[in-house]
């Protein structure tokens, strides 16, 4: 499974990238706003740091405007994945970009039918939002499972990019079902290393070690 980090925080990306935990990056207008920087500048810096796809999102809502914005974003670097919303206009823009040989991440997916349309339009990635479905008491993992089954039925090449990841369990379940990619905030990715029994075991080891009065260095 590929790990994309969902942030525009350069330092956080660099830390995870140095550990080999970053296969790509996803950004959106909200994350760019949090960074307080110009969208083109911060996106270019991220693209120079990360070898994998960097999703940069259009803000227009009409297809022609999305296409114009997407082409400008794609000009930043070769590893840009143009991010468009799963609307009819977004699908139109996706088809144009796909025909031009550009990577497209279709985002804000909440149903299997939407995912099917995105694959038909040539999306490189589909981003189903797990956490936001959980927020309205719908099991987001069922959506990942449905999309996996549909894509496998017809050999679609579109990669399932599980998004709106809130917990380590979301990551584990996405991997179990067979999502191709997860994108999560840095804190969630780092939390995957944590387990209370690991902490308890380490504390016991350290207590025993102190009793020996020895040092390694």
**pTM listed for this prediction:** 0.95
Enzyme catalytic residues: 83
Task: State both tokens at 199.
Answer: 């902490």
| CB-CB contact of 99 with 88 (8 Å) | no
19 to each of 15, 160, 212, how far by Cα in Å?
A: 7, 24, 33
Name which of 190, 21, 133 is nearest 145 in CA terms.
133
Q: pLDDT of 86-134, one tens digit each? A: 999 999 999 999 999 999 999 999 999 999 999 999 999 999 999 999 9
Tally of structural domains, the chain: 1
Q: For the chain, how are helix, strand and coil distributed in percent, rounded to 5? A: 55, 20, 30
| Host H or E run for residue 11 | helix 10-18
Q: 3-class DSSP state for residue 84?
A: strand
Distance CA 6, CA 199 (A): 27
Distance CA 156, CA 164 (A): 23
Q: What is the pLDDT along the chain (217 residues), one digit of tens a residue?
A: 999 999 999 999 999 999 999 999 999 888 888 888 898 999 999 999 999 999 999 999 999 999 999 999 999 999 999 999 999 999 999 999 999 999 999 999 999 999 999 999 999 999 999 999 999 999 999 999 999 999 999 999 999 999 999 999 999 999 999 999 999 999 999 999 999 999 999 999 999 999 999 999 9
Distance CA 58, CA 46 (A): 17
| CB-CB contact of 4 with 27 (8 Å) | no
Residue 118 lies in a domain: yes
Q: pLDDT of 202-217, one tens digit each? A: 999 999 999 999 999 9
Concatenated DSSP letters of 139-167? -HHHHHHHHHHHHHHHT---EEEEBS--S
- The answer for 152, left when phi > 0, alpha when psi is -120 to 50, beta otherwise, is alpha
Residue 205 lies in a domain: yes
Residue 217 lies in a domain: no
| Host H or E run for residue 175 | helix 168-177
Residue 146 lies in a domain: yes
CATH of the domain at 38: 3.20.20.70
Name which of 125, 22, 47 is nearest 83 in CA terms.
125
pLDDT value of residue 210:
95
Residue 70 lies in a domain: yes
Task: State both tokens at 190.
Answer: 């780092």
| Domain span at 129 | 2-212
pLDDT value of residue 33:
86
User: Cα 137–143–144 angle (5° rounding)?
Assistant: 125
| CB-CB contact of 8 with 27 (8 Å) | yes
């Amino acid at each position: 499974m590929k790990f994309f980090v969902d942030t525009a925080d350069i330092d956080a990306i660099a830390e995870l990238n140095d550990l080999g935990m970053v296969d790509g990056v996803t950004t959106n207008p909200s994350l760019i706003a949090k960074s307080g920087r110009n969208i083109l500048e911060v996106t270019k810096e991220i693209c120079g740091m990360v070898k994998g796809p960097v999703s940069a999102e259009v803000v227009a809502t009409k297809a022609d405007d999305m296409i114009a914005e997407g082409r400008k974003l794609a000009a930043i670097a070769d590893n840009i994945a143009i991010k468009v919303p799963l609307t009819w206009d977004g699908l139109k823009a996706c088809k144009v970009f796909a025909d031009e040989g550009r990577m497209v991440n279709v985002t804000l997916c909440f149903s299997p039918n939407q995912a099917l349309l995105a694959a038909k339009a040539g999306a490189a990635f589909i981003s189903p939002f797990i956490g936001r479905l959980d927020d309205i008491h719908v099991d987001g993992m069922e959506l990942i499972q449905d999309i996996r089954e549909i894509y496998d039925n017809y050999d679609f090449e579109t990669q399932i990019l599980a998004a709106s990841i809130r917990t380590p369990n979301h990551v584990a379940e996405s991997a179990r079902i067979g999502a191709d990619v997860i994108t999560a905030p840095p804190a969630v990715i780092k939390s995957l290393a944590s387990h209370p029994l690991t902490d308890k075991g380490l504390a016991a080891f350290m207590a025993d070690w102190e009793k020996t009065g020895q040092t390694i260095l």
